[in-house]
Amino acid sequence: RLKLDFDYCQTTIGLVKKIEGATWSRSMKAWHVPDKAASINCIKELFEAHTLNFESNIKKQNVVGKEQLDGNIEIDEYIRQYITWMKYRRYSQSTIDTNSEVVRTFLKFNLPKKANEIGPDDMVRFVNEYILKKGLSFSYQNQVVNGSKLFFREIIKTSFSVEKFERPRREHKLPNVLSKEEVAKILQALPNKKHATMLSLIYACGLRRNELINLKPLNVDSKRHLLIVLNAKGYKDRIIPISDKVIGMLRNYYKEFQPKVWLFEGQNAGEKYSETSLQKVLKQALKTSNINKPVTLHWLRHSYATHLLESGVDLRYIQELLGHKSSKTTEIYTHVSEKSLQKIKSPFDDLK
Lateral strand order in the sheet of 220-221: 220-221, 226-229, 238-241
6-15, 63-72, 113-122: least confidently modelled range: 63-72
Local structure of residue 215 (DSSP, 8 states): -
Report the pLDDT averaged over residues 33-48: 70
What is the overall mean pLDDT for the chain?
82
Among 146, 18, 170, which Cα is nearest to 82's? 146
User: Active site includes 208?
Assistant: yes
pLDDT at 333: 74
pLDDT at 152: 92
- Quote the CA–CA distance of 154 and 31 in Å, as a whole number: 39
Please list the alpha-helical segments (H only) found in 229-296.
244-257, 275-289
Q: 213-232, pLDDT tens digit by residue? A: 999 999 999 999 999 998 77
* CB 180, CB 207: distance < 8 Å: no
User: Active site includes 195?
Assistant: no
> Which residue is catalytic, options 3, 36, 225, 298?
298
- pLDDT for 168 beyond 70: no
Q: 131-161, pLDDT tens digit by residue? A: 888 888 888 888 999 999 999 999 998 866 7
> Which residue is catalytic, options 209, 301, 302, 307?
301
Determine what percent of the chain is predicted with pLDDT higher than 90. 41
Report the pLDDT averaged over residues 96-109: 92
175 or 172, which is more confident: 175
- Quote the CA–CA distance of 103 and 149 in Å, as a whole number: 10
- pLDDT for 53 beyond 60: no
> Which residue is catalytic, options 78, 253, 304, 333?
333
Report the pLDDT averaged over residues 162-185: 77
> Which residue is catalytic, options 233, 238, 254, 272?
233
Q: 4-35, pLDDT tens digit by residue? A: 776 666 667 777 887 887 887 766 677 777 77
Which residues have CB under 8 Å from 93's CB, separation 6+? none
- pLDDT for 207 beyond 60: yes
Whether the bond between 217 and the residue before it is cis, its omega within 30 degrees of 0, is no
Lateral strand order in the sheet of 30-33: 2-4, 30-33, 23-25
User: Active site includes 324?
Assistant: yes
154-163, 271-280, 326-335: least confidently modelled range: 326-335
pLDDT at 144: 92
> What's phi and psi for 229, nearest 5 deg?
-100, 115
User: Active site includes 233?
Assistant: yes
| Overall size of the chain counted in residues | 352
350 or 268, which is more confident: 268
- Quote the CA–CA distance of 114 and 155 in Å, as a whole number: 13
pLDDT at 88: 93
User: Active site includes 172?
Assistant: no
- pLDDT for 170 beyond 70: no
Report the pLDDT averaged over residues 283-311: 91
- pLDDT for 99 beyond 90: yes
69 or 301, which is more confident: 301
User: Active site includes 104?
Assistant: no
* CB 113, CB 122: distance < 8 Å: yes
> Which residue is catalytic, options 208, 216, 225, 272?
208
Q: Does an H or E element contain 121, and which?
A: helix 120-126
> Which residue is catalytic, options 60, 195, 307, 324?
324
